[in-house]
Amino acid sequence: MTDSDRQWWRGAVIYQIYPRSFMDDNDDGIGDLPGILSRLDHVAALGVDAIWISPFFRSPMKDFGYDVCDYRDVDPVFGTLADFEQVIERAHALGIRVIVDQVISHSSDQHPWFQESRQSRDNPKADWYVWADPKPDGSPPNNWLSVFGGPAWQWEARRRQYFLHNFLASQPDLNFHAPAVQQQICDDVRFWCERGVDGFRFDACNFHFHDQQLRDNPAVLASATISSVRVENPYSMQQHRFDKNRPENLPFLQKLRATLDLHGAISLGEIGDEEALALMGQYTAGGDKLHMAYSFNLLTAQFSAAHIRGQVEQLEASINPVGGWGCWSLSNHDVVRVATRWGKTDPDARLAKILLAMLASLRGSICLYQGEELGLTEAQVAFADLQDPYGIAFWPEFKGRDGCRTPMPWTPAAPCGGFSQAKPWLPMPPEHLARSVATQEAAPDSVLHFYRRFLAWRARQTVLRHGDIAFLDAPEPVLMHVRQLHDGEGPALLSAFNLGDAPVTLPLPHELAARLTAVDGHGVTGGMLQGDTLTLSAYGGFFGALADGKGGDD
């Protein structure tokens, strides 16, 4: 294996597949592995480097696969282990690597490990989960809260103790302070490596360890109240100092990395925290922990060129000194789709195009969520159709994650858009049918065709995959930067993106404009350089090679 092959993940484009909603092969209304297999040609045509498949392991589906009860088998709703091996074989034949979603901070309460652990305080698995005695008054051992609402502790009468659950009560936290747990997790990772998996996305990877003294988390504000903070979820009212982000996680990540390195597999860690950017630096430092990490910092409602620049610059300051690597995304299975989140009602298709160009031009790897290549909007799911326990708990202030998890529309045919012949587990939004894959295949100017053109062009730009980044001052809503290879090879590449719905005329310094030559072939329109003036149409963009700079291909 060449060094280039080993480093494929740097600057990679990763396509996330949420299997329940991608393609239903057996017409039971739920997507499955054979369905993924049948649509891999669509993914390959996008020009991505890898697919990330959300959990397909055995599970009672209380959190739709993020509650695992067998880390080494496929849930029958998705197919069989043989089906998964066919997906790997076909993906590899198409030049696509396969990343699986490992949920190791917690398991399902139906996992045999927990079923044994809960029986007594002295069985072989007694310390595999986080157990604690009640306070003298019978209340939970401390003030830790669940992400999904309420206390993070659940009473177990058989042990007369509480167990920790950072998410649902049916998702007990594994005790990573137990060496046997760490070894078991590494063994389960090895199981999938031996079946040809190329990498792992580690869910909630900053939740692995807890403070063994069980100290209370401090408040975000000393005088915080529900009325003053105005949060829909009280989880946001605490500084999560003791229930996650613990220093013991770093040695464990080194142990996990050693397992991955034996098999040439890579890791992508999900980090959800107020201080996520700093943690991404710690967790990817030194080349001996995670290969790369991503946060939710561009998955919020805040949308401006200044915000994007600020987040990227903060990450660069965190990871560059320690040799780390980041990964950016604008949508995933947990947040409102970016077309709606940033484009509001009836978003312009040009916004979907410029957002891809902007995202794929940042330093780091990127994740694309299924349906982004169609410019899909967030679905409005009625309360009666909700499946997400998070949304059911906090309705109507928070409507949950079902709106971004509705089925992929493959054809414009109502009612199921080619996803299934049966009623889907979540309804197919009628407005998505007009954005179906088949509809956009027939429209050369569609978002889908733009994705293919742009990603094909980006794959040839070494500077966009590996180069450094330096932002240039520009008025809102323009984001402008220069990418340049660290070793000084090749011309630098200037990129400018108008993220707004009105044209912008931008004067450039003469010494900069005189060195610029427009670059073609990427499919981005709406940018024109005339003399020292750069004009960008609404949602327009511009790429230009800098004559004496460093870093780009043709």
Distance CA 276, CA 285 (A): 14
Closest CA to 142 of 169, 120, 164, 168: 164
Closest CA to 283 of 247, 241, 243: 247
Strands (E), 171-304: 199-202, 266-270, 292-294
Angle between helical axes of 276-284 and 305-319 (0-180°, round to 10): 30
Tokens of 504: 């912008």
**Which residues fall within 8 angstroms of residue 167, CB to CB, at 6 or more apart?**
63, 66, 106, 146, 147, 148, 204
Phi/psi of residue 459, nearest 5 degrees: -60, -25
Catalytic residues: 203, 275
Place of tokens 């502790």: 153
For residues 356 and 367, is the Cβ–Cβ distance under 8 A? Answer: no
DSSP designation for 523: -
Distance CA 171, CA 174 (A): 9
Long-range contacts of the stretch 517-522 (C-beta < 8 A, 24+): 517/544, 517/545, 517/547, 518/542, 518/543, 518/544, 519/493, 519/543, 519/544, 519/545, 519/552, 519/554, 521/457, 521/554, 522/357, 522/453, 522/454, 522/457, 522/458
DSSP designation for 189: H
Distance CA 2, CA 512 (A): 38
Distance CA 83, CA 516 (A): 51
User: Exposure of 233 by Cβ count < 10 A (0-12 exposed, 13-18 middle, 19+ buried)?
Assistant: middle
Can you say whether the dihedral through the CA atoms of 37, 41, 45, 47 is positive or negative? positive
Radius of gyration for the chain, computed over Cα atoms and rounded to the nearest angstrom: 24
Phi/psi of residue 97, nearest 5 degrees: -85, 160
